[in-house]
Amino acid sequence: MKPDRICPHCGKPIAADRKRYCGNCGEDFTGPDDAAQEAPPGRRVSGRGILLGIFIALVEPLSSLAVAFVWDRGVVQLEPNGPFVQALQGAALLEIILGPLGIAVAGQSARLRSVLAWYVLVAVAVPVLAVVWFIGTAYLGGLAGEPF
Ligand SMILES: [Zn+2]
């Protein structure tokens, strides 16, 4: 004979035929404990971490694109050989570090465990990053009078 289970919500004994919801108050009596076992706090997917990873991976190419766009539109006037444009063009090389770092942060935050999941992430993210980076760098370089 099983010991009586007590509903954590209403404190009444739970009927033996109940699997999940208390017959008395209708609450899910398995809830918090089971959820905690499935995903302990440290292993939960971190939406903020995923966004941080995407930000790290995209900040350089998107900055180049944004600056090139407003420069092209004449919203800002920039010296092609000025320090700002030079620094931004130099920062393009940082993407070699920032791209993989951002992908790693996003993958970790998404709690990817299988090799396949990581493979899919990299197979999707790297070409997307490369295209955005290439467009941003070429656009900016073209305006500065020296594509690459
Ligand atoms: Zn109850």
Q: How confident is the model at residue 57 (pLDDT cuts 50, 70, 90)?
A: very high
The rounded Å distance from CA 43 to ligand 1 centre is 30
Phi first, then psi: give them for residue 40, nearest 5 degrees.
-60, 155
pLDDT at 38 over 60: no
* Torsions phi, psi for 28 (to 5 deg): -80, 105
Q: How far is the CA of 12 from the centre of ligand 1 (A)?
A: 6
CA-based nearest residue to 122, from 73, 57, 28: 57
Question: 128 C-alpha vs ligand 1 centroid, how far in Å?
Answer: 51
* Backbone torsions φ then ψ of 134, nearest 5 degrees: -60, -45
**pTM for this one?**
0.67
> Between the ranges 36-45, 80-89, 129-138, where is the mean pLDDT highest?
129-138
| Polymer length of the chain | 148
User: Whole-number mean pLDDT of the chain?
Assistant: 88
59 vs 1, 39, 53, 89, 127, CA distance in Å? 62, 31, 10, 13, 16
